[in-house]
Amino acid sequence: MRILLASYFYLPHVGGLWTHVSHLQRTLEKLGHQVDIFGHHPDMQKYYFVNSGRSVDKSKIKDPIYNNMVRYFLRERNDVVEWIRWKEIERYSYEAALVYFGLEKYDLIHAQDIISTRALWRVKPERIPLISTIHGCLATEYLHSGEIKHTNSQEWRYAAKEEHYGASSSHLTIVPTQWLKNVLSSNFRVPENHIRVIPYGMDIDSFSRRMEAESSLARPLNKKLLICPARLVPVKGHKTLLEALSMLKKVRSDWVCWFLGDGALRASLSEQARRLNLQHDVLFLGERSDLPSIMKQADILVLPSLQDNQPFSIMEAQIAGKAIVASDAGGIPEMVTHGETGLIFPKGDSKALYSRLNKVLSNDELRNRLGNNAQNWGRAHWSLGLRIGQTLQLYEQVMAKKRKAKEAIRW
């Protein structure tokens, strides 16, 4: 088949979306399919195909749309807030870019977010099946980030509609966790029978080989190493972690914590660490290409997310056999069983996080047992072949349904 994987966001993208798309592309191509990947260029100035580099300047697409829509809003809908105007202009521009490049040659399209799903549903040829994978809940992320202030706002009503139509505008929608399925069906009225749960998989052998590579970083010899690999954005909960580490420092000094990732909060988190006198205990190391080898050196993975879906960092820590201390946000409790494969704490609760960290640092037997249990569980659950196989079965189901519908029309 000729398959298009599409996202509104820039690609390559930091986080689980790009990891999932990369795994899917490689596996599909090994099976003989032709795969294109479409999205924003990382500079956000072009729409492009990641695999071929074919592109168009975004300004050529967006400028005429922007001018016409600004006039429309001023004339017809002056009550619409600027944030919604911007969102609408962005979606229309993305739709126009898809039309510009053409979609007719594809046998199946697999969108990777609610924005690209809705756009593709509106402009694709009717005969082409469209499957969607939703990697998180944008509407509630806007609340965590402060981009939307409250649920009585015009912005929230728009975001809720965007979530509903984005997750419904496909022949079938895939989510990685039962948590996200529940959120979409309960909060945003997406029909339950429209959603299938297929957890992410990972290339366990490849990750294991990368763990053996050398890293330019070496852990302190006399301290336990905590790592927090996550984008420095509000939804990841780093402020909660820093508060917990401040409490931890008052009772013990046998640890250091590495923040692995970058983002808009780096300056404010660094300042918070300084105010809490943690500047020598918490290191901000930015994006790292050697995360697997760093994971091998670590003693504990800590993930304080306020919202999360199925974080790859937990999957990787499980394959590496590390003790995990994580919040109960999103789909994390589906991955980690408290007291067996890790320790869970209530999201946003810095005192509980401090208590869990102190417990696992104090007890070598517990830390090793949690790591061993996590490794056994992860290796049994994160088979990439199994998850891609389940996705391909859905491809076949959707295509077969389209064929039957076409034959029925002929009759």
For 338-372, how does the pLDDT look when each residue is reduced to its tens digit (9 = 90+)? Answer: 999 999 999 999 999 999 999 999 999 999 999 99
Q: How far apart are CA 282 and CA 266, in angstroms?
A: 12
Q: How far apart are CA 201 and CA 189, in angstroms?
A: 28
Q: How far apart are CA 35 and CA 45, in angstroms?
A: 23
* Confidence bin at 311 (pLDDT 50/70/90): very high
What integer pLDDT is reported at residue 60 of this predicted model? Answer: 97
For 189-201, how does the pLDDT look when each residue is reduced to its tens digit (9 = 90+)? Answer: 999 999 999 999 9
Alpha helices in 31-170 (DSSP H): 58-76, 82-101, 114-123, 138-145, 154-168
Least confident of 15-29, 153-167, 245-259, 322-336: 15-29
Mean pLDDT of all residues in the chain? 95
Query: What average pLDDT score do residues 52-61 get?
Result: 97
What integer pLDDT is reported at residue 129 of this predicted model? Answer: 96
For 110-152, how does the pLDDT look when each residue is reduced to its tens digit (9 = 90+)? Answer: 999 999 999 999 999 999 999 999 999 999 999 999 999 999 9
What integer pLDDT is reported at residue 402 of this predicted model? Answer: 77
What integer pLDDT is reported at residue 126 of this predicted model? Answer: 94
Q: Do 2-201+384-410 and 204-381 come out as alike in CATH topology?
A: yes
Q: How far apart are CA 52 and CA 321, in angstroms?
A: 38
What integer pLDDT is reported at residue 154 of this predicted model? Answer: 97
pTM for this model (two decimals): 0.94
Query: Among candidates 344, 305, 335, which has minimal Cα distance to 141?
Result: 305
User: Do strands 2-10 and 34-40 pair parallel, antiparallel, or not at all (unpaired)?
Assistant: parallel
Query: What average pLDDT score do residues 298-314 get?
Result: 97
CATH class for the domain made up of 2-201+384-410: alpha beta
* Confidence bin at 391 (pLDDT 50/70/90): very high
* Confidence bin at 411 (pLDDT 50/70/90): low
What integer pLDDT is reported at residue 409 of this predicted model? Answer: 56
* Confidence bin at 55 (pLDDT 50/70/90): very high
Report yes or no: 23 and 384 within 8 Å, Cβ to Cβ. yes
Residues in CB range of 334: below 8 A, 6 or more apart: 177, 178, 179, 310
Residue type, 211: M
Query: What average pLDDT score do residues 259-270 get?
Result: 96
Residues in CB range of 78: below 8 A, 6 or more apart: none
* DSSP assignments along 239-296, one per residue: HHHHHHHHHHHTT--SEEEEEEB--TTHHHHHHHHHHTT-TTTEEE-B--TTHHHHHH
CB atoms within 10 A of CB 411: 4
The CATH topology of domain 204-381 is: Rossmann fold (3.40.50)
pLDDT at 332 over 60: yes
Query: What average pLDDT score do residues 318-322 get?
Result: 98
Verify cis geometry, omega within 30 degrees of 0, for the bond prior to 346.
no
Residues in CB range of 137: below 8 A, 6 or more apart: 163, 180, 183, 184, 307, 309
What integer pLDDT is reported at residue 407 of this predicted model? Answer: 61
pLDDT at 410 over 60: no
Q: Is 167 exposed, middle or buried (0-12, 13-18, 19+ CB in 10 A)?
A: buried
For 57-116, how does the pLDDT look when each residue is reduced to its tens digit (9 = 90+)? Answer: 999 999 999 999 999 999 999 999 999 999 999 999 999 999 999 999 999 999 999 999
Query: Among candidates 400, 397, 395, which has minimal Cα distance to 35?
Result: 395
What integer pLDDT is reported at residue 380 of this predicted model? Answer: 94
What integer pLDDT is reported at residue 215 of this predicted model? Answer: 87
Listed by start position, the domains of the chain span 2-201+384-410, 204-381
Residues in CB range of 47: below 8 A, 6 or more apart: 38, 39, 40, 41, 55, 56, 58, 61, 94, 97, 100, 101
For 172-227, how does the pLDDT look when each residue is reduced to its tens digit (9 = 90+)? Answer: 999 999 999 999 999 999 999 999 999 999 999 999 999 999 888 989 989 999 99
Q: How far apart are CA 129 and CA 2, in angstroms?
A: 12
Six-digit token pair at 219? Answer: 């852990």
